[in-house]
């Protein structure tokens, strides 16, 4: 009888070990949390930015009729959707706002990247679900990409919020 209990205990331990979750390497940047509620202005900015998808790219472009670059898109969207005037390059825009941890990102926050071996050389608008809208020059159109994977993941620098 004691042998039977020992065998049962041994079997339970083996099965428990088989059911354990294997350890995984920790990601360099955690995926943004989905539970933080967006601000009303952040929702407006997000919706307006999504309306610009497929707009053509133009270096120095500041309006959708003639084309947009990354900072032009951000300044245009923030002006039209939130009445907030941002100006200058991505690096200029990065100097404003308050830093936000990646796991605290909310729709409407800005995400900054080092894309030309230059700090804050690209900017996009976080829209939630680990995605952002931006105007990259390599595709020629405003599009969405994932923050935590692909070419931009290794070039992410910082996020900033401009709303409460």
pLDDT band at 10, cuts 50/70/90?
very low
pTM value is 0.79
Q: Is 134 one of the catalytic residues?
A: yes
Fold for the domain defined by 33-161: endopeptidase fold (from Nostoc punctiforme) (3.90.1720)
Pairing of the two strands 110-113 and 98-100: unpaired
The percentage of residues in the chain with a pLDDT greater than 90, rounded to a whole number, is 71
User: Catalytic residue among 3, 12, 18, 134, which?
Assistant: 134
Q: Side-chain half-sphere of 99: how many Cα atoms within 13 Å?
A: 3
Tens digits of per-residue pLDDT, 133-148? 999 987 789 999 999 9
122 included as an active-site residue: yes
Alpha-carbon span 82 to 78, nearest angstrom: 5
Selecting among 3, 12, 18, 122, the annotated active-site residue is 122
Residue 2 pLDDT more than 90?
no
Burial-class residue 46 by CB neighbours within 10 Å (0-12, 13-18, 19+). buried
Residue 98 confidence (pLDDT): 95
Per-residue pLDDT at 91 exceeds 50: yes
Residue 70 annotated as catalytic: yes
């Amino acid at each position: 009888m004691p042998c039977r209990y020992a065998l049962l205990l041994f079997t339970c331990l083996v099965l428990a070990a088989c059911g354990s979750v294997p350890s995984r390497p920790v990601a360099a940047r955690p995926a943004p949390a989905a539970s933080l509620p967006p601000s009303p202005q952040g929702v407006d900015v997000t919706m307006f930015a999504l309306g610009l998808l497929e707009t053509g790219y133009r270096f120095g472009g500041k309006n959708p009729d003639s084309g947009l670059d990354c900072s032009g898109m951000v300044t245009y969207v923030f002006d039209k959707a939130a009445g907030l005037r941002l100006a200058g390059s991505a690096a200029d825009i990065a100097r404003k706002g308050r830093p936000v941890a990646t796991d605290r990102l909310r729709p409407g926050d800005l995400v900054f990247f080092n894309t030309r071996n230059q700090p804050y050389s690209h900017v996009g608008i976080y829209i939630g679900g680990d995605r952002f809208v931006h105007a990259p020059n390599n595709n020629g159109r405003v599009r969405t990409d994932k923050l935590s994977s692909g070419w931009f993941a290794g070039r992410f620098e910082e996020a900033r919020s401009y709303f409460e």
